[in-house]
Structure 1
Amino acid sequence: MKLLRFLLFPFAIIYDLVTTFRNFLFDTNIFKQNSFTIPVIVVGNLSVGGTGKTPQIEYLIRLLKNKFQIAVLSRGYKRKTKGFLKVSNSHSATEVGDEPLQFTKKFPDIFVAVDEQRVSGIQKILAQSNADIVLLDDAFQHRKVKGSLNILLTKFDDLFVDDFLIPTGNLRESRRGAQRANAIIITKCPENLSVEQQNVIKNKLKKYQKPIFFTTISYAKTLKGFTEILLADLSNFEVLLVTGIANPSSLIRFLKDRKINFQHLNFPDHHHFSTKDIELIKSKFEDLKGLNKIILTTEKDFVRLNNDLKNLNYLEIETTFLGNQQRVFDNLLINHINQYSENN
């Protein structure tokens, strides 16, 4: 696979030229960017998938929902519908995408919508709601919207500065795109990441002259779903782990560190589970030998699987800032919102 990616390097150069020229057209206002009278906070990345955008959006919702009217707009990746839809509990993941449906079920008071045309989507949100703020999910490359604040995520063990453009690497655009960010968050860090290790990464990124934050993934102490199980008791169960996310390595490492016995069925990111897939999962589950056995999945996968499987549980995750960085980040965000709202 590495050899193939190396051989495809000339195509990465062509891709770089195309995306760089596109960004030039937006940067010089030849292509129009649309601003709005309320803050539009963009959460995205330079890489393809797996950087933790969903828990970061949820962090922003928790931070802001008691002070502001929040709306979240996503394209609804891999949904089988088109156009603008306000997401409700009655929708399926097939109709609106798994992440928007997860936001709706978790935060029922938040206006969640999907639209592949982000400008039109924000306009419809403003017409249909009293939103004070729009959170734009996975839209760092969607240059038609000029975000008031751009938050760039990059994974601890796969920093964008160490990567190359697709197809040789996983970057959607050149590393130069990081210049558009107002803050860079290093995601999925080890909980015990030292200040010295943080400084090494900061030195790698210092040329971008952006505020840099470090976060980790925190897991809930109780599994939800078919039945509530204490995480501390999970080692007493035979576990079939089913994932359809871009990078399940953090969850796998978490389970292994806790000596939890599991078998893993790994599907592609945002996978639409077919009848054949469901039958395979049921068969693998029946093959487990323990008296106590469950199917464990991610919260994102749960919204796609819970209507088809029993014995299905999921483990909630949250973004947690390391050290005292949460206070600094929260202040940066709140100050931006207040200043932007005041100016507009």
Structure 2
Amino acid sequence: MTWWQLILFPFALIYDLITRFRNHLFNIKQRTSIKFEANVIGVGNLEVGGTGKSPMIDFLIQYFLSKNREIATLSRGYGRKTRGFRLGSSSDTAATLGDEPMIYQKKYKDQILVAVAEARAIGIPYLLAHNNDIDVILLDDAYQHRSVEPSLSILLSTYKNPFFDDFLLPTGRLREARQGARRADIICFTKAPVDMSDEEQKQMIARTRSYHPNAPIFFTHIAYAPLISFGTAKAKQKVIGIGGIADNQVFESYLNSNFEVVEFYKFTDHHDYKADEINKIVEVMAHHEAMLVTTEKDFIKLGDFKNLRTKSCFYLPIEIKFIGDQSNFLKLIDDAMKKYPKY
């Protein structure tokens, strides 16, 4: 621990007591956790953001679409300016739906249902009432949302900052104690190096076993697809990077390795971009004769600025790739879905 972590440690102990007591109430059935008669897959983490939940949800969407399933996603819709249950439509924006749900809405349109609700236990019945033919509901960032008990729970943690090395808020980045990993049906370490060795995997699995004795454990790495344009001008050699996500490190590193980056602007997760910020960036682009490259999540907001649409602007789609055989992971998904005859 660093000196500042030691100073904050007493507050982490208080936070630990509060979260443990809350979880205990659910464990002894003093607080209600609803299990719906539907295939509900929860994807979440113990840490505060940046573990790759959205790419995992996107991976599952594509998998279920390949099997011709009726899919719905349900999340809180963090950062939106609306409240209550809301079903996504072509007229929505990040302000009405939230950043991540808007990615799914824009990308898949009427291929899936995208919904947001602060209370997932209320959102799920609304979804099923809207479309009783839904095969699977994907819950985004719902690991601590214990009012709903998913039929399958996938816990994500990053290779670089695994939950078993982290500490509770505010000393570290954990939302609850490491022991919370026991609720997971599958554990996946994300953002691992492509060439991660078998020995290193075994070491991480062994350390995870202290917190979950038998959950299947997988490792994934990030892969980037080709650039997609959202401006009318052609690509240029130099790049201005913009990242407003929880962990900009992998994105920035990829740009530096593949482009001539002259500036990189880091913003906080779910940043609400202002016109004066964009105007300044446009001036820098003109000065360096550079194109803008951003994340798919940031594109959801940046694409609304008219002065960017006439410039050389691109976003970089992200996807996950399994290290090793992903068929074992998909078999677990398929087996879990067989709990309900509709699947």
Q: Could you state the TM-score of these two structures normalised by the residue count of structure 1?
A: 0.93
- In structure 1, the partner of 2:8 is 8
Residue of structure 1 equivalent to 2:204:
201
- How many residues matched? 334
Letter in 2 for 1:212: I
Query: How far is 1:3 from its partner?
Result: 3.4
Any unmatched runs of 5+ in structure 2? none
Match runs of 1:168-317 below 5 Å: 168-207=171-210, 208-209=212-213, 210-226=215-231, 237-258=237-258, 260-288=260-288, 290=289, 293-308=290-305, 309-310=308-309, 311-317=312-318
Q: 1:212 to 1:303 in 2, by over 3 A?
A: same
Which string of whole-angstrom CA distances, capped at 9 and with x for unpartnered residues, describes residues 149-178 of structure 1? 110000000000000000000000000100
Give the Cα separation in 2 of the matches to 1:101 and 1:303: 7
My pick for the range that moved more, 216-225 or 54-63, is 216-225
Structure 2 counterpart of 1:122:
124
Q: Return the offset for 1:90.
A: 1.4
For 1:42, give the aligned amino acid.
G
Look up the equivalent residue of 2:336 and give its one-letter code.
H
Alpha-carbon distance in 2 for matches of 1:17, 1:276:
44
Query: What is the deviation of 1:227?
Result: 5.6
Contact map agreement 2:227 2:315 (CA 8 A) in 1: no
Where does residue 143 of structure 2 map in the other structure? 140
Please state whether the residue corresponding to 2:264 is helix, strand or coil: strand
> Does the 8 A contact of 1:89 with 1:101 survive in 2?
no
**Structure 2: distance between partners of 1:240 and 1:284:** 8
Does the 8 Å contact 1:151/1:184 carry over to 2?
yes
CA distance in 2, matches of 1:228, 1:333: 43
- 2:341 matched residue in structure 1: 342
Paired residue for 1:33? 33
Deviations 1:265-312 (A, max 9, x none): 111100111222222222222221x4xx21110000001111102332
Residue matched to 2:89: 88
Give the letter for the 1:119 counterpart: A
SS in 1 for 2:341: helix
1:44 Cα shift? 0.2
Contact 1:224–1:315 under 8 Å retained in 2: no
In structure 1, give the amino acid aligned to 2:127.
I
Aligned residue in 2 for 1:17: 17
Cα deviations across residues 235-285 of structure 1 (Å, max 9, x unaligned)? x61111011100011111212233533310111100111222222222222
* Corresponding residue SS for 1:341: coil
Distance between the aligned counterparts of 1:38 and 1:68, measured in 2? 13
Gaps of 5+ in 1: none
- 1:106 & 1:44 partners in 2: Cα distance? 21
Q: In the aligned structure 1, how far is the partner of 2:227 from the partner of 2:265?
A: 22
Alpha carbons of structure 1 residues 239 and 2: separation in structure 2 relative to 1, 3 Å: farther
CA offset digits 1:96-117 (Å, max 9, x no partner): 1111011011112100001111
Q: Alignment partner of 2:118: what SS?
A: coil
C-alpha separation in 1, matches of 2:233 and 2:224:
14
Question: Closer, same or farther in 2 for the Cα pair 1:7/1:185, shift >3 Å?
Answer: same
Partners of 1:6 and 1:227 in 2: CA distance: 52
Deviations 1:43-98 (A, max 9, x none): 00000010000000000001112332110001000111101111112111011111
Q: 1:242, 1:307 → 2: CA distance? A: 15
Deviations, residues 117-160 of structure 1 (Å, cap 9, x unaligned) = 11101110011012111100000000000111110000000000
CA 1:28/1:343 → structure 2, altered by over 3 Å: closer, same or farther?
A: farther
Alignment partners' CA distance in 1, 2:285 and 2:259: 19
Give 1:342's aligned amino acid.
Answer: P
- Give the 3-state SS of the residue equivalent to 2:59 in structure 1: helix
Cα distance between partner residues in 2 of 1:111 and 1:102:
12
Given that residues 243 and 265 in structure 1 are in contact (C-alpha distance below 8 angstroms), is that contact kept between their aligned partners in structure 2?
yes
- Distance in 1 of aligned mates of 2:195 and 2:228: 24
Distance 1:212 1:262, change over 3 A: farther
Alpha-carbon distance in structure 1 between the residues aligned to 2:228 and 2:70: 30
CA distance in 2 between counterparts of 1:155 and 1:7 reads 26
- Aligned-pair identity (%): 42
* Cα distance between partner residues in 2 of 1:152 and 1:298: 23
Query: Matches of 1:303 and 1:54 in 2, distance apart?
Result: 14
- Counterpart residue identity of residue 118, structure 1: R
Match of 1:149 among 149, 152, 167: 152
Runs (4+) of structure 1 exceeding 4 A deviation are none
